[in-house]
Amino acid sequence: MPLGKRVRILPVLLAAPLLGAMAPGDMSVAAFLARADSIARLGPLALATPQGNQLKGEVVAAGKRYKARIDADRRAGRKTTSCPPESGTLTPDQWLAHLRSYPAPVRRTVSINAAFDALMKKRYPCPA
């Protein structure tokens, strides 16, 4: 293999363990939006791609983690950060609009888990 080709492959090989070690929901908003934008041209078919499935998995994992935390807080009698209904819907457009509401410089520092929590707090505030 020519040296030039090996040099281009090296960053991918070095990044692979880091990407594999990330738990679902830990992806940054910036990374999520970059991946979503790269498959957006496919329209509704984007979700059928491996990358679309990964992005969907990120959101589903964040939702499950959020629900588990809210349920645990309720069972323990603790005040929750938001008061969502037992079931609800979130369209991809609503989700992406929320992610895009973060200023570009901040997107690298906000995880999908944190973004999901913030959206639920905004959509379902608890009564005063």
The secondary structure of 58-93 as a DSSP string is HHHHHHHHHHHHHHHHHHTTPPPS----SS----HH
CA atoms within 13 A on the CB side of 38: 11
Higher pLDDT: 28 or 1? It is: 28
CA–CA separation, 79 vs 84, rounded Å?
A: 13
Whole-structure pTM value? 0.77
List pLDDT tens digits, range 25-68: 689 999 999 999 999 989 888 888 999 999 999 999 999 999 99
Contact call for residues 112 and 29 (beta carbons, < 8 A): yes
pLDDT value for 48: 87
Q: Could you tell me the residue ranges of all domains in the chain?
A: 24-123
Could you give phi then psi for residue 102, rounded to 5 degrees? Answer: -75, 135
List pLDDT tens digits, range 65-78: 999 999 999 999 99
- Count CB atoms within 10 A of the CB of residue 75: 8
CA–CA separation, 33 vs 51, rounded Å?
A: 12
**Mean local confidence (pLDDT), 122-127:** 93
pLDDT value for 128: 75
